[in-house]
Structure 1
């Protein structure tokens, strides 16, 4: 059977307008945060409510050969586990992945007519927390299979996993991957719809992902706060010490990170970065809403892409121990705690980075201050294996068919912990790390990867005014349908 492209386009437009947008809007309105950000996730019912909404929608769809369950493990966020039986001879396994947990709402960062848990369609975009990152993934995955079945296209066996702890580093996912290993099987293709695009003009494939490590750096100098007039000049400021410690891992003038957190960048990745830079031009920095005369760290576009995708970086994303300016007295405080977020090169393990950071920050503290660095989330990055010729050709054909332009490979600065788990899944059991899978090659020896998504310029994932571009989503669904059809013909 030959795939009818016009019918695919009509189907995608219809399913987005009549099914995905209305149900995704209901999902946006549920305040389910990832477990790292909501300590009451297991009791307040929001995670269960979001899972049930998605589960009910999936179950109501007319998908032949489908079984769908909400799987649970005590003290773990649930997952939705879907299996769709094949209709072709000699079928292969295809694994599709997404997540339904959300980042914190940050209501102060949203425009007055928008809100994190308020679904709004405006200027061709759907606004709301978790829509683009990546609540749409379940609906798109199911819709892609529906499109094939409506045209009676023989297809492979599909396994769809929708997890609930991705934004917390997928801390609960390894247990499910291990438990369901037989049911998952060995996929020939892995499709992940939690990534991004460089523009909204063509299909973008993620070639690599940085890892991430977050933790609390605490510097304590006193057990009792003291009047600054009495203590300053005698007692060292905890904030000044914290700045010294951060300078151990980051050059404050250049942003360069300690050499022990750097890796050698493969030459072919540099070649891909050069092409990506040519396609995007200044978009890489023009997408941000710069304040005043602030400008990028460099105007060298290639270097900006290298910084974003293969260089480690440090951001201070939170602080404790410091009162707001409106309530700040003349007091030398007892301590300062800074939340550090470190993005890691794709080929560096989070375990190694954690050890490096902890040793650098805690060793020989200035003035003998009490210094601790406690990691609360980590996930290793991912570097894609070589793309087989058939898949590269299929992606190019899909991009030309639905966007009218060629596809582009791009490294992402963000993290999808699930992809790192395919390389090696690490479970934290007490203080012992159990290595479940050693390498991608050993776990999925023949697997190809399609990592893409709706997080394009201005989508603002994790921040205020998060949105997805509806037209881009419709065309992306068409590309996924096309690609699954090509996979089934291998």
Structure 2
């Protein structure tokens, strides 16, 4: 039986996506944010409207995770666990947006707004797939559980606590993660790997307080100068990460040119790529270090003083095969060792998330790929992802026998985390059909 969305269902799902995007569920604002809780409750209501039993999973100092289940009439049927997240990134510089971030607008087949792609389209994918199966078959072919978390954009810092407290609820034969990306509009993809991530706060102090730059400059180093020197040691001259001991790989099955990468990123006219090896291996299979922020006097507040203290937030993506705790230790050691002139250095560890490598030979992956081939009328690619989904490694540890399939609804034009984030609505509809196909196929697969 062919799976197709009706116009009525499609319009209803797009309306749901619009309404979710209107809720500014920025996890950085804290677990007590009214918008975070409004969005969690709205997501719960959407699943309840389809017949799910729903509850909020709560632990101290964390936003609630929406959990629920649809029971199949066949008690012996296998179980699939669906994952996505309802929290979003901060807006950033509002001047960079051409539209209001939380007033979604449809333009040329795309819905614009913060979270339109990452990851409220993931939520709608799950809702749409379940609705499609219920409409076509009046029942679900297997048990379906779902967990929609609210702190993924913070690195899921409470993931291990959620797993420890609620792990028994999450047991499943297969897991579908809707929080990745396709290759391009019209070219679907299954994610073969995720990089992990570690971060830290680096603080440098040279003086107990600022002193006159005319009286002491040239003899006494300022903290911002020292911080810059330390940061400059993190990369070789060609931009390759220079932290010793890290796992790195250089080859991949697909690649793009350096000019394509710069164009996709929106680089300035003469910008060059950094690193070595295949371009895509640099973002899928090699470590990468980014300086996310620096705390120092602003230009408007600058005075003729030697700056006594400066700090930087440093993030490092790590490839599959690299232990996150070891990576953080190596990064911290490098930062301390690189400190010049006897300055005082403090490294405060932040979040860690392990990398992930998928089993692409499993039956659920094949079923999803078949669904993609049907929905898009083209064979999907298998691609790595330079980003991280922290909860995936925890789910893999909890459910070692379960096959985990990672896909998404966005693509490079979606500009997730950036200004003018958007979602191609045609791609969303196709992803719903592909996921419904995979869930339906699960009932025909021996998961023992």
Q: Give the TM-score taking structure 1 as reference length.
A: 0.85
1:431 is aligned to: none
Contact 2:82 2:147 in 1 (8 A): yes
**SS state of the match for residue 133, structure 1?**
coil
1:447 is aligned to: 402
2:427 is aligned to: 472
Task: Tell me the alpha carbon deviations over residues 329-365 of structure 1, each in whole angstroms, 9 at most, x when there is no partner.
Answer: 3322111211112111122222111111222212473
Measure, in 1, the Cα distance between the counterparts of 2:353 and 2:249: 20
Task: Tell me the alpha carbon deviations over residues 281-329 of structure 1, each in whole angstroms, 9 at most, x when there is no partner.
Answer: 965443221213213337x9x71111010111111111111312x4433
Contact 2:213 2:306 in 1 (8 A): yes
Measure, in 2, the Cα distance between the counterparts of 1:263 and 1:293: 28
Give the alignment partner of residue 414 of structure 2, picking from 450, 459, 463.
Answer: 459
| 1:488 Cα deviation after fit | 1.4
Contact 1:257 1:313 in 2 (8 A): no
2:34 is aligned to: 45
Q: Does residue 368 of structure 2 align to residue 382 of structure 1?
A: no
Contact 1:107 1:116 in 2 (8 A): no
Give the alignment partner of residue 277 of structure 1, picking from 255, 275, 289.
Answer: 255
| Structure 2: tracts of 5 or more residues without a match | none
Contact 1:208 1:383 in 2 (8 A): yes
Give the alignment partner of residue 342 of structure 1, picking from 307, 310, 316.
Answer: 316
Q: Give the TM-score taking structure 2 as reference length.
A: 0.92
2:269 is aligned to: 292
Q: Does residue 296 of structure 2 align to residue 321 of structure 1?
A: yes
1:367 is aligned to: 341
Q: Does residue 32 of structure 2 align to residue 32 of structure 1?
A: no
1:15 is aligned to: 9
Measure, in 2, the Cα distance between the counterparts of 1:471 and 1:110: 26
Measure, in 2, the Cα distance between the counterparts of 1:190 and 1:43: 29
Measure, in 2, the Cα distance between the counterparts of 1:391 and 1:72: 30
2:54 is aligned to: 68
1:194 is aligned to: 179
Measure, in 2, the Cα distance between the counterparts of 1:257 and 1:84: 49
Contact 1:257 1:312 in 2 (8 A): no
Measure, in 2, the Cα distance between the counterparts of 1:449 and 1:336: 42
Contact 1:107 1:115 in 2 (8 A): no
Give the alignment partner of residue 111 of structure 2, picking from 126, 129, 134.
Answer: 126
1:57 is aligned to: 46
Q: Does residue 136 of structure 2 align to residue 151 of structure 1?
A: yes
1:170 is aligned to: 156
| Structure 1: tracts of 5 or more residues without a match | 424-439
| 1:386 Cα deviation after fit | 4.4
